[in-house]
Amino acid sequence: MATQGQGSEHFVVVFAGYHRPWATWIGHRLESHGHRVTLQRWDPRREVPLETALGDLLLASGRILLVLSDWFFQLGPRREGEWSEALRGVVAANAQRFAAVNLTNRTLLPATAVLEPVDLWSVGAQEAERRLLSRLGLPASGRRPCPPRPAPASQRPPAVWGEVPRRNVRFTGRDDLLNSLQQHLMDAEQGTAVVTLLGMSGIGKTQMAAEYAHRFSSDYDVVWWVNSDTRGTLRERLGELAPELGLASGSEPGERIRAVGEALRRGDPYGRWLIVFDGWDDIDGAEDLLPEGPGHVLITSRNRSWNDSRTTLVEVPGFDRHESTGYLMRRAPRITADQADEVAAELGDIPLALVQAAAWLGESDMDVTDYLRMVRDGELSELADQSGFDGVPRSSLTSWSILINRLRESQPHAVELLSLCTSFAPGRIPIGLVRHLAAADLPEGLGWLATDLAGWTRALDTLVNYSVFTRDTRSALAGEEPGPEQESVHMHRIVHDIVGRLTSPEDRRRHREVVRRMLVAADPGNPQDSRLWPRYAELLPHLEPSGALGSRDDRVQETILNLLRYCFRSGEFRTGVELADQVREHWSELFPPEHPRMVELTTQQGNILRAYGGFRAAYELDRELLDRLRAAPATDPTHLMTATSCLAADQRYLGQFSEALQAQREVLETALELLGPDDYLTLLAQHNLGAGLRLLGRYAEAYEVDLETLRKRESLLRARHATTLVSGIACARDLRLMGRYRDALARQELGMRLHVQVLGPQHPQTLRARHNLVLCERRAGALQDVGGVMASLLDQTEQVHGRRHYATICLVVDYGNYAREHGDLGQARDLIAEGENGLRELLGPAHPISTGMLSNTGLVLQAAGERAEALTMFEAALAGLTATLGPDHPWVLGCALNAAAGRNFTGRLDSAQELSRDTLRRARHALGEDHPFTLSCEVALAMDLRALREHEEAGKVEEGALQRLTRTLGAQHPHTLAARQRMRPYWDFEPYMG
């Protein structure tokens, strides 16, 4: 062996498998100084004594450098004290051959002092290299070193660490699989680093994902765990990452999810991220939720359909026999290797079953032979039907039954608590909420849940100790242990199913009653408050297993309705649609269709369907209810009013504008009679009336209604109330559509400031206000870069709503019109095509808005010189809207203005002049003599007359139009300047639903 500090030396770097990056770095640095290095993975078989395994390392030439961590000492089942004996023996006797570096901040065994380990924990590459060379007694060589290589990621924890299950100190094996998983994720191209751990229940997918997150946490700045048992839980949890990333998103899960997705895609503020979706079996719509970007995604699932997605499938097998016996012997040191082998064989090497068996054998004094006999011979009628156990061997199921039956004798409270958990949904269970109940509210025999804190703690500790379930980490994130009322646990689906089958019908009935009462007590009672949405998301999965959906208890039914309201307010529309269907199935057996509960259910269901885009389904639902209420002999007039209001909303979305207005008038009349002019619902009905008038082009009437609503809301609520701000948007829109552009801009600027102050910059209503402000600025002739503002607003709106939401599509259309007007035909063509297709898909081809979009398409074609094709679009829009809205609707007049231009450009001069003259006549009647659109019609007519050489009339018409444009808009307004330059006027179709 070379003397220290002289010439080249040989080092054997010994490391635990997942510390290979560190071992490689150490080897690289030593080689750069002229030394030879051999890497040796440390994983001795359990049968080999530690003294022998460490002695075998000495057979190699050179010095032995151990890369230590807390995990290094946990490999293989070792009897207590064996490591200390080996360190004091073979290592101490050969101290000059052994050295060590330490990668953990945890306390090592006292006997490791003989290795004189030097800490490389949380230091930079240069300092780590200096410490390494100093410990080995090596000077920095005089030869030119290799180019510096950064040290492996610092052992500092990630900046954002979200609810990853606590590390399982008994985790065994899987090293090759974990290392392969890490290598795949690290080597994947950006945007493709998505891996699904696939396997049956109980195979250890969740434990593997949690171990990966802990073991390789230093590779990431963000590690975020998403419980994905239900879609609602998944969305709520993923959205909770937004504030952790410092994102200014709204309070709705959809807003937060889109903001999170965009931040992850950009890698801002963190590019090294890991998102773990645990238990994601329902993959419908997964593509919209899977993050993209420079980070990594890890999924655990039983659903093989992930194979059709952009993810790599990794099959998770059972333990190999070495891993099984190692785990059993570590947890139950009293059993022999042969006994461990026999138990593992009987349980099929399934990790979940082995966990239970090891817990039982480690805690009890039962002989292994007796335990195996009970597993083999146990005939439990409750488990005779093994359906739903996903391939788990019968012996594994029986082993759980043994544990539960023994606990029933020794720890009855623990079994009572365990059985209670089966009346919740599997997965995360907020069991501590039960302690909010008073003892008097609990069924006979269960009062101890609320009064006996010591018994509660003992029962919970027993179940955790036997690995029946694990404590949830959510409440511990702030650094404090949760109190009993905040306690949550995680219960595996198989354990949930087994215990449920072993629970008697009477106990199940009692336990479900407890959970239902807990749901009522935990209901905050205000689903409109976004601060309370996490609580509602926590309660929602437990409705069905607790029997709440079929409950006759009024309080339970009100909680269910509040959860539906939460789905609507929070944007969880798909979850709400599914829940409403379930509730209807149960309540239809309890109540007649016209019962008040069914009226309220239908109201909420219709609201959610409408928001989800199911306009026709909402209409059919509301139409049927209204017909039944009208036919009933003694219908509550408030119910009739509510149903009529819902139907009117459906009709507006379906393009039945006249029918909607008539229905809304009935609603307002009823509200005034029943509730008075100042009631909240009366003002809502009045606001909806304004929307109906606006959709029919009756802008001045709409403004009168909206202005009255605004003033009353300012007086009765307050100027900064959210609904008051909505009225402000409506008034500004009315003014803009009336051609009063300066007034509209002034009102919307004020409203915009209030929206930001009250609701924040990313709230959906704030974005709607900003959209209207941009349109007001454009119509008022703003000189600033409106296009840049629109592009930024489109990004924000897409983050909040998604690309296919109605609000986003409308902004796409308006941005496309702006791009066309300013000469960017390529962008305009793409945006208008996207808007037309999106609206057609959302509303149907016969909807007036879908028809009106043909005119925007025609404008793009006309600007591109495709005049014949443009005229075809204009004529189709004109004919379609005339048939549905009548000849005097402003949308029809706008299509007529464009069609007249198309006829002129294609040589149909007489026809163009006739259409322009008719359009001007109608515009004067519908909008007024001085409306900017009416003046555009005059300019267009003058051009058509001039094309026919009727110069005298053309001059008179043009002169009058220019004078009034100058008076109303100003001499320098773009509209006035364009008319003076004899540029052909056109009309942009602006899609809106009122």
Q: What are phi and psi of 795, to 5 degrees?
A: -60, -45
Q: What is the pLDDT of residue 99?
A: 96
Question: Which run of H or of E encompasses 970?
Answer: none
Same domain as 124, residue 95: yes
The conformational region for residue 676 under phi > 0 = left, psi -120 to 50 = alpha, else beta, is left
- Our count of domains for the chain comes to 4
Choosing from 295, 315, 335, the residue where a domain stops is: 315
Same domain as 125, residue 208: no
Same domain as 302, residue 171: yes
Looking at the predicted structure, is the pLDDT value of residue 276 above 80?
yes
The CATH number that applies at residue 951 is: 1.25.40.10
SS3 20: helix
Question: Which run of H or of E encompasses 320?
Answer: none
pLDDT in tens, 964-992: 999 999 999 999 999 999 999 999 999 98
The answer for residues whose C-beta is within 8 angstroms of residue 192's C-beta and 6 or more apart is 310
Q: What is the pLDDT of residue 219?
A: 80
Same domain as 310, residue 165: yes
Q: What are phi and psi of 959, to 5 degrees?
A: -60, -45
Q: Which residues pair with 11 in a beta bridge?
A: 37, 63
Same domain as 237, residue 369: no
Q: What is the pLDDT of residue 76?
A: 61
Is 56 a domain residue? yes
Q: Which residues pair with 491 in a beta bridge?
A: 427
Choosing from 390, 410, 430, the residue where a domain stops is: 410
Distances in whole angstroms, Cα of residue 884 to Cα of each of 689, 751, 881, 890: 20, 34, 5, 13
The answer for residues whose C-beta is within 8 angstroms of residue 702's C-beta and 6 or more apart is 690, 691, 693, 694, 730, 734
Burial of 966 (0-12, 13-18, 19+ CB in 10 A): middle
What percent of the chain has a predicted confidence (pLDDT) above 70?
A: 92
Is 442 a domain residue? no
391 falls in which pLDDT band (50, 70, 90)?
Answer: low
Q: Which residues pair with 222 in a beta bridge?
A: 160, 273
Choosing from 264, 284, 315, the residue where a domain stops is: 315
Structure tokens at 700: 């001045």
pLDDT in tens, 505-550: 999 999 999 999 999 999 999 887 777 888 999 999 999 999 999 9
Same domain as 405, residue 298: no
Looking at the predicted structure, is the pLDDT value of residue 713 above 80?
yes
Is 113 a domain residue? yes
Question: For 198, what's the count of Cα atoms within 13 Å in the CB-facing half-sphere?
Answer: 13
User: Which is nearest to 836 in space by CA: 656, 609, 989, 987?
Assistant: 989
Same domain as 866, residue 991: yes
Is 326 a domain residue? yes
CA–CA gap between residue 109 and residue 82 (Å, rounded): 11
pLDDT in tens, 596-609: 999 999 999 999 99
Same domain as 193, residue 128: no
779 falls in which pLDDT band (50, 70, 90)?
Answer: very high
The DSSP call for residue 87 is I
Is 164 a domain residue? yes
Exposed e or buried b per residue across 377-405, where buried means at least 16 C-beta atoms within 10 angstroms of its C-beta? ebebeebeeeeebeebbebbbbbbbbbbe
Looking at the predicted structure, is the pLDDT value of residue 245 above 70?
yes
Is 922 a domain residue? yes
Question: For 874, what's the count of Cα atoms within 13 Å in the CB-facing half-sphere?
Answer: 30
CA–CA gap between residue 842 and residue 618 (Å, rounded): 14
Same domain as 331, residue 227: no
Same domain as 130, residue 28: yes
Q: What is the pLDDT of residue 378?
A: 56
Range of weakest confidence among 213-217, 679-683, 891-895 = 213-217
Q: What is the pLDDT of residue 382?
A: 47
The conformational region for residue 75 under phi > 0 = left, psi -120 to 50 = alpha, else beta, is beta
Is 949 a domain residue? yes
Q: What is the pLDDT of residue 123?
A: 75
Mean pLDDT for all residues in the chain:
88
First to last CA, the chain: 87
- Give the residue numbers spanning the domain of 70: 10-135
Same domain as 208, residue 289: yes
The CATH number that applies at residue 251 is: 3.40.50.300
Q: What is the pLDDT of residue 484?
A: 66
Same domain as 275, residue 173: yes
- Amino acid 190 reads Q
Question: Which run of H or of E encompasses 45?
Answer: none
Q: What is the pLDDT of residue 634?
A: 84
Looking at the predicted structure, is the pLDDT value of residue 47 above 80?
no
CA–CA gap between residue 234 and residue 226 (Å, rounded): 6
Spatial contact of 576 and 564, defined as CB atoms under 8 Å apart: yes
- Label each residue of 629-666 as H, E or C: HHHCCCCCHHHHHHHHHHHHHHHHHCCCHHHHHHHHHH
- Whether omega for the bond prior to residue 393 falls within 30 degrees of 0, making it cis, is no
Is 490 a domain residue? no
* Choice between 257 and 894, residue whose per-residue pLDDT is larger: 894
